Amino acid sequence: MIAVVAVLQGERVRLRPLEAGDVERLVEIGAEPEITRWWGEITRKHLLDKVEGRDDATAFAIEHEGEVVGLAQFSEPGEDEFEHANIDLFLTASLHGRGLGRDAVRTLASWLVGEGGHHRLTIDPALANEPAIRAYEAVGFKRVGVLRRYWRDPQGVWQDGLLLDLLADELR
């Protein structure tokens, strides 16, 4: 388990611990249709729970050129012989397709492997979220399998997810 959360510098993004001052901007980003499609409603309360440590995930604000442009998070659900970390993120739609999400994933994954000592990471996007899946695969994540009827979309319809994992020596 990682006890101290650091500021992480990627090639083009910076990940820093989430602060209360980030919440309004992240609620704005979370309201973008391209984000809501995959995440549902992102509420102030949920984000404040993350800031105040009342959430299972440890969250970072993603910054690009000094501005908050998204959120990255990790959790460590396993214990003992099953220990690993899960990651997830969202990025403002205006910056999709520019490699910033890939940079954020690589930066967080590198830190979780290097500082956190994790040998394996997982991520579980919606099966239909092909751009995100391509970004994760570019970092080295491999497809494990389809998670059938894994999550409910904002309209309440069950959707499939895709489980991907990354072993420490596969990180690119």
β-bridge partners, 133: none
Radius of gyration of the chain (CA): 15
Q: Which domains does the chain have, with CATH numbers?
A: 8-170 (3.40.630.30)
pLDDT given at position 77? 81
Kindly report the pTM of this predicted structure: 0.93
- Beta carbons of 100 and 69 less than 8 angstroms apart: yes
Q: What is the dihedral of CA 77, 124, 74, 132, to 10 degrees?
A: 170
pLDDT given at position 1? 59
Tokens of 4: 């101290």
- Chain CA centroid to CA 136, Å: 10
- What CA–CA distance (Å, rounded) separates 159 from 150? 6
pLDDT given at position 4? 61
pLDDT given at position 147? 97
pLDDT given at position 35? 96
The tens-digit pLDDT sequence of the chain (172 residues) is 565 678 999 999 999 999 999 999 999 999 999 999 999 999 999 999 999 989 999 999 999 999 999 999 999 987 767 778 999 999 999 999 999 999 999 999 999 999 888 999 999 999 999 999 999 999 999 999 999 999 999 889 999 999 999 999 999 8
What 3-state class would DSSP assign to 34? helix
- What CA–CA distance (Å, rounded) separates 168 from 60? 21
Please list, in sequence order, all residues whose beta carbon lies within 8 angstroms of the beta carbon of residue 71, skipping any fewer than 6 positions away: 18, 26, 29, 47, 59, 60, 61, 62, 89, 90
